[in-house]
Structure 1
C-alpha cells in the first residue's frame, strides 16, 4: 500500500511538471483552429508574481456563445502542479461545446489549504464575471479537480463561505467532478492511512484534529444548502481513494444531494487524469454524461 502510494505520487509529480505540446503546424490553406486559447489571464490584479501566479488559461470553441464552462483545478499534493498540465482536455471539451478554464492557485507552504480554496473561489468569481467575453455561459459553471484539486473543489462546493466571500453562492455551481481524491474526510484519512501518506497530509493539514475537521468537505454537507450534484471517480484498485469516495458519496446521498461513484478499472492515479479525452475512455464517457445531464 505504502509503495503504491509512493509510486502514484512520483508519477503525479512527473506528469504535473510536463509542458503542453507546442502548437500544431497548420497547412498553408487557412483552416479554423480546433479551439481558441487565451493564456495567463490574472484573476487577481492585486497580486502578480510571474505570469503564471493566480492566473488562468481559457480554451474556447472556435465559434458560438453561451457554452457551458468547466473549471479545471490541477492536483499535486497541494504543493506542486500548474494549470498548463491539461493534456488532451482542451480538445476533448471544446469539441463537445464546452469552455475549459484551467486555473493556478497559490501552493503550499506559501499558502494554506484554506487560502488555496479562497483562490479557487476568487477565480470562479472572475470567470462568472467574464465568461461571456470568451463565449461562455456564467450560469453554467462546473468544477473539476484531480487529487489535491479534487479535495479543493469538493471543499469549495460544500462550504458556502468561500463563494460567499466572492458575492456568489453554491447555486453558482451546476455540478462538481472529482478525480481520484482521498481527502474528503481528512480526519478519517489521517487516522487510518500509512505513515507515508500521513506525513504528506500532516505537512499541509498539521497534526491538529480541529484543522482536519475544518479542511474536510464532509464537515459541511447539509440538506437544503444548494450543494451541487457530484460525480466522483476513483482508481478501482486504490483502496484509500475508493473508501473516501464511497463514504463522501454516501454522506451526500443521505442529505438528498445527488452523487455517483465510478470505479475506473485499469487506471492509475496518473492515467485517470491524463487519459481524459481519449477514445473509449470510461472516465471521459462518465464525465460528459454527467455534464450533459446537469447543464
Structure 2
C-alpha cells in the first residue's frame, strides 16, 4: 500500500469513525459468511452472565477455542460490540467465545473475575458440542479484558473456584493490558479496586510463577492510557525470569483502542495483531501435540 494511498485512506476512515460509532462501523464492515453465531448462552444466573459463540464456517474437527474478554475499565462493554473479533478469529479456524460479565457499580474486584472463571468453566465443559477441543483452550483480552485473562492465567484462585486450573490452558493473549497499575490514577478505575486501599493481590504481575501457561503480549508504543513499558514490558520480563514461554510485540501505528481494532478486516493494515495471535495458537498447539506424542525420557 503506497504512502499516499495509506494517508488518504486513513483520513477518509477517520472521518467515517468521527461521524459514527467506531465499533458500529467496524461491525458493519465485518462479513458474516465466515462464521455461524450462537448468541446469549447463559453461564450463570445474572443477566450479564451470558456468552456468544462464533464457529468457523469451514471448521476443522477439534478446533482450538479462544475465550475473549473485552475492555472498558470494568465500567462498560458488551459482547455484541466485538463481533469483529469473533469473525476475525473464526476466519482463521478458531472457535471464539465472547462473554459478558458484571461491571462496576454492580460489582467490584474480584467478582468480575469470578464471572470470567465461570465463563471459562462453561466453555471447557460444553465447547466440544460446538466443534472445539477443550484441551486447546486459550484466553484473550484487550485492556481491562487482558487484565481479566491474565489474572485467570496467573492467579490459580479464580479457576480453582470452578474446579479448573491455569494448567488446563494452552496459553493466553493480552492486548494493551494493565498488569501492574498501583497506585491507580484513572478515576473510573479507582472505585473498582477500593482505592486507596487497593489490594496488592489484585495485580497480575504479583502472581507470576513457573507454572504459568505460555503468553503472548502485544502493546502499542503510543498507548497513553496503559503504559506499555511498565505493564507489557514489566510482565514479559518477569515471565521470562520464571522461564515461562512469552512473546512480546510492540506496534507503532496503533494506540490503545486501535490495537484491538486492527484485528478487524478494515484496519488490519495498522498492525499484524491477528497474524501474531494465529501464529501463537498454532505454535503452542503444535508444541503441545509434539509433547503428547513424544515418549517420556
Q: Could you state the TM-score of these two structures normalised by the residue count of structure 1?
A: 0.81
Residue 214 of structure 2 contacts residue 246 of structure 2 at CA under 8 Å; is this kept in 1? yes
| Equivalent position SS for 1:39 | strand
Cα distance in 1 between the residues matched to 2:179 and 2:24? 25
Equivalent residues in 2 for 1:205-244, closer than 5 Å = 205-209=193-197, 211-223=198-210, 225=211, 227-238=212-223, 240-244=227-231
1:88 aligns with 2:84: yes
Per-residue CA distance 1:241-279 (angstroms, 9 max, x = gap): 332110111111111111222111110111111120435
| 1:72 aligns to 2:68 (yes or no) | yes
Asked whether the 8 Å contact 1:145–1:178 carries over to 2, the reply is yes
How big is the shift at 1:291? 1.1
What CA deviation, in whole Å up to 9, does each residue of 1:125-159 have, x standing for no partner? 00001011110111111111001101111111110
Cα displacement string for residues 8-34 of structure 1 (whole angstroms, at most 9, x for unaligned residues): xxx9xx656889439969xxxxxxx42
CA, structure 1 residues 284+185, in 2 after alignment: closer, same or farther (shift >3 Å)? same
User: What is aligned with 1:282?
Assistant: 272
Which residue of structure 1 aligns with residue 174 of structure 2?
Answer: 178
Task: Please tell me whether the aligned partners of residues 16 and 81 of structure 1 are also in contact (alpha carbons under 8 angstroms).
Answer: no
- Structure 2 counterpart of 1:102: 98
Paired residue total: 260
SS at match of 1:162: helix
User: Does the CA-based 8 Å contact 2:74-2:189 persist in structure 1?
Assistant: no
Q: Check the 8 A contact 1:141/1:175 in 2, yes or no.
A: yes
Distance 1:169 1:18, change over 3 A: farther
Partner of residue 39, structure 2: 39
Contact kept in structure 2, 1:17 and 1:81, CA below 8 Å? no
> For residues 152 and 30 of structure 2, what CA distance do their matches in structure 1 show?
33
Partner of 1:30: none
- Going from structure 1 to structure 2, the CA distance change for 1:275 and 1:116 (only over 3 Å counts) comes to same
Q: 1:164 to 1:15 in 2, by over 3 A?
A: farther
- Aligned-pair RMSD on alpha carbons? 2.3
Cα distance between partner residues in 2 of 1:232 and 1:23:
25
Are 1:221 and 1:251, in contact at CA under 8 Å, matched by a contact in 2?
yes
Match of 2:28 among 21, 25, 28: 21
| 2:257 matches 1:270 | yes
Structure 2 counterpart of 1:155, from 123, 145, 151: 151
Map of 2:189 onto structure 1: 201
Q: What is the deviation of 1:87?
A: 4.5
